[in-house]
Structure 1
């Protein structure tokens, strides 16, 4: 290649040089790529989420989601412009009916392979599929389907009476979507999570029943081994033993009729959440034993945490297992119920994921699925605050990953969703629940949702900041200016309308233009880690709200997540450590093997399992219960990005009463590792430029780098990629 260019230079034939460079550019683009199945971005995610969320049942009855379900586009046009240096055969595999065009000329039939001559070409496929997502897999020596292909759901070209195709088209093409279907026979429509067989730890057999205990909360398909006879079989599933034995009120059950003269194994069609299964047989039916096919998402656990406190270690381990069970095709709320994709639950899972897996496809799939399609007719999951969490999820995704390509795919959908939100503001420019809006906030007794709730304004403000950030990425200067103006104006209104000097806090709401007297924790704690308060206001709120038992307490792990984050952001790691041991440790003391949807230490016995007016309505494995993963990674190990994708990052370890701790935090390019005791800190990073910030009562020493003094016993050390640093110091 270089010889050709050099020869052209010697001949001083610059036009030929330019042609050579153009040819090399196109030839380089046509180098062999890894082929993968592709589709219209977001369509597979919408289709798969519909399929997954409609698996929910309660006592054998179908239980679909509460909100509007969108569908995939049934007809998609795919194309790719390319240059081949040599002729090649290209194999085509398609999900749906399709036609093929090469350089605008239609090929007859449904070709499985085509021969393409050398040169510059455009290959186009138009695919129709109503039942599943139109998708293609193209594989040649150099040409392959990938996200560089362009797709559209609406080909706006037209043909006049003479047969001439329009010269100008309003068609909008976008880069194709993909996941990990990297072989022709690995079709997207047949995707299923993997399974492996597990045996119970204990079995109690009676004349007409078998009760099995798998030792911990789990998820999968019950399997009856050596099943024989004619009659009915009932399987009662339980997250607790009490639930499995309560045949009339257990949340999940399967009822089947069999007629099997010979012994055979039978696996249930539906996946279920359980620790216990109580299998009841008619007189003439029995089975040898019960096992299960454990279903899981094959995500890689990259993050870790270990410390001097064994209870905290167990809390971290159980949190990791809880999140793993709720990490499926998407991040779901709970494995027993609802098994749906709720935006507020998913938002917390994204954050925990960044400190445990750093699995980005599950994040983007979930964001696509939640957003759905235009036109927007309601809030996400019908919940106002859940719409704002969706925007915030994109804000955080960019900070942790730096992925601009995803932002570019999502920006039009962000614009239309934000337009919907802004259209529903009242005369004061604030969000107030309108008919059809669910203002959720939290499960809490007597929590008012009336009027203009301060918490909702706060989330909208952060969402507008997200829009401004993404507008800058898109080089949308008018959009950036507008969203910045809106967020700045709303932030000013929040403090004008809601801050109360006498209460030293933001009040909960305004009704008819007047502040209510109620102070709750929600808007106040979010304002701390959003960094909306002045330092003086933070101290006031910490004293008069967060550490004030007279302010209504939070009993869900969902909002404990944010309450403890706010306290950590204020340097209260010692207090938070005690709270974690009390709250999550309290569940462990009751025998929890995963963390719950809600925990009230004032309850006792079977009352812990009740919720929503049902004896066993509470989920004992809920994603939002796994928040210690995030808190321990971000605020104890102290690792967080300060520039997108960890190009710059901070390490600010806080022992918070621990004698020592160690762990790793995953990033897009390797891990950041931290060890900290009262006398020594060890850190290393595989990416970016880090800053270690810490306090010491004596002058610290580090052989690998120069420590800077910041004043007030605070010190700083720059961390470069690939170097291991050891700091000897004396913790304050």
Structure 2
């Protein structure tokens, strides 16, 4: 008898991420007060039906568990109570479970010899069902394959998910002149402070800091705890996790403690499946290591922006985290979770994170995910939400079909140190919209060309996908033409900034110009002129955030300027290291000194000193120095264009769905090993085939 897949917990797609995201995003605190996100937060469907048609070759007992109350119908007949087990008679039968849960996502676990919950079950939230006078149900509910992840044990349901922990100790302790104790954990970290052998009755005041100055500034540190306790040699673990390197503790009344530790909280990864990089320059090696540590700290239930202050999921931060992750841990589970959580549910009432550009990055993140994974199932799952998100975008375009900020939109672009209006129709936003339309076209094409043999009721049809391909192709072509005719200035050889009140704002910034290079919206000749007139022009205002330096340096790498980019990496990220950084920051201005590096948003310690977008050298070194990137989705085909820049030698691994691609290169020789996919080495004007699991050595 053929046995089906192993039983696992199932739920409605996206509901686990939405529920987990609400729990995650609302843990942020500022000086002891909770600080929820300021955008719409959706909830999971509170009632979900799970169904499957099964064939039992003999009577079969199934064991049933649910997160929530449930009813069970066999062949349309309601069964008594909420049975923990049930005998399915021999033959073909229709199983329907309706699970209700207000507090956590309705989830179901059914385990039998051949009948097991998995992603072949269908789920619906039943919003289009009606019952006639004879009690017969009618309607066209939307059915989708049920979601699952790694919850394969009946006693570990989705609501019990948490990251892993391990105890760490401070590396130094010193007594403050004010009477408290300062604990230094050696580098930026994240977790739960533990006070051991707490005795007596009194109050404990705990102040956290990414810097020594912040931890000891009781009036202005960003996070703190106050604990009123009455203990007898107990261990107190602070309930809410915090980011810190330093922790300053004072006591009041008759309370004392013996020792301080922390439960370090982390998302585990497999080292043997991770990316790596080493070269002859120890500063570059240190930058790679700190970048990897920054990414590991900000890879949590989701890809988070900064671990101290915001602790929220932001689409602009996340798209960079995804790209760095593809060259570091290849944690595709976290990518999918974050994309789902950011999107939320319909109806769409605002841009993602309320930011127009972040909506466009969300579309591009689906494009990137498919490029690196070839995961058609996820594209099929998320596409209906891409459709409704794009409908919202297009309904807010102007008469020229261009995206224009409305009164309730946040137009971000970047934090800048120079005057830059964000009113009217920004060229930068049109470039991102154009790429979003391209993503819609790509995804519709993929799904049109890969139809399901037996699509669930309510699924998008091949004809509808075909219509979308035509629609988004036309919109993309039209907008791309308007980019040139509207914003390109042939005299300055650059894209202008914006149209305001019908007039062109002739300010020139790097933002639209570098994205036009990256997205391929310029000819080769135009790219060269933009490099001279904008990207390398000292009269154009500099970018000071790692956020946009990510794209600036990518554009330079695409133009073959790896040697200059290495100098930029050494100066910029090396500058943070000289200032004592143990993880990379939200923003770095080399002209600032001392505690100026800690301030932002008008607060003395407002800057995040561990920010995901600060780790971009991980991506740059993997893609533009080791030179590895997929040319067919999921690394079915890939190319390697290695560039040493000014390095003597380099060596590293790039993770892929097949395993790893290993590249080792010096000025005389290159060797490559690949675990899978069809590869091509392109170097010195020559092309070499890279066979699977066989070392290729080329000498110059």
Q: Secondary structure at the match of 1:421?
A: helix
Q: Secondary structure at the match of 2:688?
A: strand
Q: Deviations over 1:45-68 (max 9, x none)?
A: 001000000000000011010101
Equivalent position to 2:189, from 203, 208, 218: 218
Provide the rounded CA distance (Å) in 1 between the counterparts of 2:270 and 2:509: 39
Listed as ranges, the matches of 1:90-109 within 5 Å are 90-109=62-81
Instruction: State which drifts further: 134-143 or 383-392.
Output: 134-143
Q: Secondary structure at the match of 1:306?
A: strand
Q: Secondary structure at the match of 2:327?
A: helix
C-alpha deviation, 1:367, in angstroms:
0.5
Residue aligning to 2:117: 145
Is 1:179 the equivalent of 2:149?
A: yes
Equivalent position to 1:338, from 310, 334, 350: 310
Instruction: State which drifts further: 560-569 or 140-149.
Output: 140-149
Residue aligning to 2:443: 470
Residue aligning to 1:710: none
Equivalent position to 2:229, from 234, 239, 258: 258
C-alpha deviation, 1:80, in angstroms:
1.1
Residue aligning to 1:369: 341
Contact 1:521 1:545 in 2 (8 A): yes
Equivalent position to 1:692, from 671, 677, 681: 681
Listed as ranges, the matches of 1:119-138 within 5 Å are 119-138=91-110
CA separation of 1:594/1:81 partners in 2, compared to 1, >3 Å: closer, same or farther?
Answer: same
Is 1:654 the equivalent of 2:624?
A: no
Residue aligning to 1:615: 604
Is 1:297 the equivalent of 2:267?
A: yes
Contact 1:77 1:155 in 2 (8 A): no
C-alpha deviation, 1:209, in angstroms:
1.8
Provide the rounded CA distance (Å) in 1 between the counterparts of 2:84 and 2:662: 50
Is 1:69 the equivalent of 2:41?
A: yes
Provide the rounded CA distance (Å) in 1 between the counterparts of 2:51 and 2:193: 45
CA separation of 1:523/1:176 partners in 2, compared to 1, >3 Å: closer, same or farther?
Answer: same
Equivalent position to 1:635, from 624, 627, 651: 624
Residue aligning to 2:287: 315
Q: Deviations over 1:455-501 (max 9, x none)?
A: 00000000000000111122111100110110011000001111111
C-alpha deviation, 1:159, in angstroms:
3.5
Residue aligning to 1:717: 688
C-alpha deviation, 1:422, in angstroms:
0.5
Residue aligning to 2:434: 461
Provide the rounded CA distance (Å) in 2 between the counterparts of 1:379 and 1:117: 51
Q: What is the Cα-based RMSD across aligned positions, in Å?
A: 1.2
Residue aligning to 2:358: 386
Provide the rounded CA distance (Å) in 1 between the counterparts of 2:216 and 2:269: 34
Q: Deviations over 1:246-288 (max 9, x none)?
A: 011000000111122x221100010000000000111422111
Listed as ranges, the matches of 1:392-411 within 5 Å are 392-411=364-383
Provide the rounded CA distance (Å) in 2 between the counterparts of 1:378 and 1:109: 42
Is 1:239 the equivalent of 2:228?
A: no
Instruction: State which drifts further: 245-254 or 189-198.
Output: 189-198
Between 1 and 2, higher relative CO (CA 8 Å, sep ≥ 6) is seen in: 2
C-alpha deviation, 1:514, in angstroms:
3.1
Provide the rounded CA distance (Å) in 1 between the counterparts of 2:591 and 2:667: 36
Q: Secondary structure at the match of 1:486?
A: helix
Q: Deviations over 1:386-414 (max 9, x none)?
A: 00000000000011111111111111100
C-alpha deviation, 1:299, in angstroms:
2.6
Residue aligning to 1:280: 250
Residue aligning to 1:350: 322
Instruction: State which drifts further: 579-588 or 685-694.
Output: 685-694
Residue aligning to 2:461: none
Listed as ranges, the matches of 1:183-198 within 5 Å are 183-198=153-168
Is 1:570 the equivalent of 2:543?
A: no
Contact 1:231 1:284 in 2 (8 A): yes
Provide the rounded CA distance (Å) in 2 between the counterparts of 1:511 and 1:160: 57
Runs of 4+ in 1 over 4 A off after TM superposition: none
Equivalent position to 1:558, from 534, 543, 547: 547
Provide the rounded CA distance (Å) in 1 between the counterparts of 2:92 and 2:201: 67
Q: Secondary structure at the match of 2:560?
A: coil
Instruction: State which drifts further: 622-631 or 291-300.
Output: 291-300
Q: Deviations over 1:536-591 (max 9, x none)?
A: 11101111111112111000000000000000000000000000000000000111
Equivalent position to 1:587, from 548, 559, 576: 576
Residue aligning to 2:422: 449
Instruction: State which drifts further: 552-561 or 228-237.
Output: 228-237
Provide the rounded CA distance (Å) in 2 between the counterparts of 1:114 and 1:567: 64
Provide the rounded CA distance (Å) in 2 between the counterparts of 1:594 and 1:286: 33
Structure 2: give runs of 5+ residues left out of the alignment: 449-464
Provide the rounded CA distance (Å) in 1 between the counterparts of 2:642 and 2:135: 71
Residue aligning to 2:53: 81
Q: How many residues align?
A: 680
Provide the rounded CA distance (Å) in 2 between the counterparts of 1:183 and 1:122: 24
Residue aligning to 1:625: 614
Listed as ranges, the matches of 1:2-21 within 5 Å are none
Provide the rounded CA distance (Å) in 1 between the counterparts of 2:535 and 2:127: 56
**Larger radius of gyration between Structure 1 and Structure 2:** 1
Residue aligning to 1:605: 594
C-alpha deviation, 1:165, in angstroms:
4.2
Provide the rounded CA distance (Å) in 1 between the counterparts of 2:560 and 2:504: 31
C-alpha deviation, 1:505, in angstroms:
0.8
Residue aligning to 2:219: 248
Provide the rounded CA distance (Å) in 2 between the counterparts of 1:137 and 1:694: 53
CA separation of 1:117/1:249 partners in 2, compared to 1, >3 Å: closer, same or farther?
Answer: same
TM-score after normalising by structure 1: 0.92
Provide the rounded CA distance (Å) in 1 between the counterparts of 2:504 and 2:673: 50
C-alpha deviation, 1:205, in angstroms:
3.3
Q: Secondary structure at the match of 1:495?
A: helix
Q: Secondary structure at the match of 2:339?
A: helix
C-alpha deviation, 1:640, in angstroms:
0.3
CA separation of 1:237/1:164 partners in 2, compared to 1, >3 Å: closer, same or farther?
Answer: closer
Q: Deviations over 1:290-311 (max 9, x none)?
A: 1000000113341111111100
Is 1:524 the equivalent of 2:513?
A: yes
C-alpha deviation, 1:243, in angstroms:
0.4
Provide the rounded CA distance (Å) in 1 between the counterparts of 2:693 and 2:365: 30
Equivalent position to 2:173, from 203, 219, 227: 203
Provide the rounded CA distance (Å) in 2 between the counterparts of 1:242 and 1:155: 55
Q: Secondary structure at the match of 1:474?
A: helix
TM-score after normalising by structure 2: 0.96
Residue aligning to 1:420: 392
CA separation of 1:164/1:244 partners in 2, compared to 1, >3 Å: closer, same or farther?
Answer: closer
Structure 1: give runs of 5+ residues left out of the alignment: 1-26, 696-713
Contact 1:208 1:283 in 2 (8 A): no
Provide the rounded CA distance (Å) in 1 between the counterparts of 2:25 and 2:374: 30
Q: Deviations over 1:179-229 (max 9, x none)?
A: 211101111112211111101000113584221000000000001111112
CA separation of 1:259/1:98 partners in 2, compared to 1, >3 Å: closer, same or farther?
Answer: same
